Amino acid sequence: MAELKTKIKQNTQEQSVEKSPIIQEEKEVVFQSKNFNLWYGDNHALQDINLTFHENDINAIIGPSGCGKSTFVKSLNRMTELVPIVRTEGDIDFRGDDIFKSGMSVEELRTRVGMVFQKPNPFPKSIYDNVAYGPRVHGIKKKAVLDQIVEKSLRSASIWDEVKDRLTDNAYGLSGGQQQRICIARALAVEPEVILMDEPTSALDPISTTKIEDLMQELKKDYSIIIVTHNMQQAARVSDRTSFFYQGYVVESDDTNVIFENPSDKRTEDYVSGRFG
């Protein structure tokens, strides 16, 4: 792990956007984007994004639909590359290394940066095989080790008690909320350092949503979480830091209570008070 640890880069531009970095300075920087731009064909979807995410924080990204918040999060593990017409400029550093530099293995990046998607998307396989999928593709074959990983991941995703007696059942037989927690367990199984969540509760009922929000509080002890949400109450409830995206720009990024109680930009204030979006 030693080679992964690099010094925190101080970015002056960043400082100008973030007003209260006092608490953050003790924590290590996980992701830092520098003048990051992204185009879908001719559509300039992300413009000069400068953001820093720290270890053991829950970072919420909010904004109206089409503001680029999902696109940004998918850029962090280079999932945007699956769309052939995407073009990017600028840097995103993950633990000090530019994720776009040549020689960067996307497989390694995506292993270390896990992702949970908007709609629960388990594989059409058994619960066990779903969770064991990641370790297996990364070369872990011993049954005993896999058993251990599966149990630990399911426990961390607080779904072990509900499924431990039917690990061989197809994951599609579970409820939506359970499926999403299986997907979280699946992401945890490869021991990522960061978990990206793209509106993970938008397809779920309120009870399942509460469960997942509670789960996030548990997970932040071991992982850094970056969550996209269109639900402002959710951002206010769960996150430490919040960034407000609007029309491809970052309007404001700060501690969550600052964004919600004392935003500096008029648009942020209008959005968090529900006047548009």
Partner 1 sequence: MTLVDKDIIAKKRTGRQSRNQIFKWLFFLCTMFGLAVLILLIADTLMDGWSRLNLDFLTNFNSSRAESAGFFGAIVGSLWLMLVTTPVAIVLSVGTALYLEEYAPKNKFTEFIKINISNLAGVPSVVFGLLGLAMFVRALALGNSVLAAGLTLALMILPVIVVASQEAIRAVPASVREASIGMGATKWQTVSRIILPAAIPGIITGIILAISRAIGETAPLVVIGVPTTLLVTPSSVFDSFQAMPMQIYSWVKMPNEEFQYIAAAGIIVLLVILLLMNSVAIFIRNKFTNRY
Partner 2 sequence: MSNKNIRDQIINNTRNKSNIFERMIPVILLLITSVSILATIGILVTLLSESFEFFSRVPITEFLTSATWQPYVGDGEWGIWALIMGTLKIVAIAVIFAVPIGLGAAIYLSEYASDRVRRIIKPILEVLAGIPTVVYGFFAINFVNPILQGIYSGFGLYNAVSAGIVVGIMIIPMIASLSEDAMSSVPTAMREGSLGMGATRLETAIRVVIPAAFSGIVASFVLAISRAIGETMIVSIAAGSMPNASFDVTEPLQTMTGFIVQITSGDAAFGTDLYYSLFAVGMMLFIMTLLMNVIASWFTKRFKEEY
The amino acid occupying position 250 is V
What is the rounded radius of gyration, in angstroms, for the C-alpha atoms of the chain? Answer: 19
Burial pattern 230-265, b for ≥16 Cβ within 10 A else e, equals bebebbbbbbbbbbbbbebbbbbbbbbebbbeebee
Min dist. Cβ of residue 111 to partner 2 (A): 5
The residues that touch partner 1, with contacts defined as CB under 8 A, are 77, 79, 82, 84, 106-112, 114-115, 117, 119, 121-125, 133-134, 136-138, 172, 183, 186-187, 190
Q: Which does 117 bind (CB under 5 to 8 A by kind): partner 1, partner 2, none?
A: partner 1
What strand order describes the sheet that includes 97-98?
43-54, 29-40, 86-94, 97-98
Min dist. Cβ of residue 184 to partner 2 (A): 17
Q: Which does 68 bind (CB under 5 to 8 A by kind): partner 1, partner 2, none?
A: none
27 or 112, CB closer to partner 1? 112
Min dist. Cβ of residue 107 to partner 1 (A): 5
50 or 130, CB closer to partner 1? 130
Min dist. Cβ of residue 134 to partner 1 (A): 4
Min dist. Cβ of residue 149 to partner 1 (A): 13
Structural tokens at position 115 = 């992702």
CB contact at 8 A, 228 and 70: yes
Query: From the centroid of its chain, how far is CA 196?
Result: 2
**DSSP assignment string, 91-158:** EEEETTEETTSTT--HHHHHHHEEEE-SS----SSBHHHHHHHHHHHTT---HHHHHHHHHHHHHHTT
The amino acid occupying position 219 is L
The residues that touch partner 2, with contacts defined as CB under 8 A, are 1, 105, 107-108, 111-112, 134-135, 138-140, 145, 148-149, 190-191
What H or E segment, with its residue span, contains residue 15?
Answer: helix 12-17
Min dist. Cβ of residue 107 to partner 2 (A): 5
Helices (H), 121-255: 127-137, 143-156, 160-163, 176-188, 206-219, 232-238
108 or 265, CB closer to partner 1? 108
Q: Which does 145 bind (CB under 5 to 8 A by kind): partner 1, partner 2, none?
A: partner 2
- Return d(Cα 18, Cα 253) in angstroms, integer: 6
26 or 42, CB closer to partner 1? 42
Q: Which does 1 bind (CB under 5 to 8 A by kind): partner 1, partner 2, none?
A: partner 2
Q: Which does 274 bind (CB under 5 to 8 A by kind): partner 2, partner 1, none?
A: none
163 or 232, CB closer to partner 1? 163
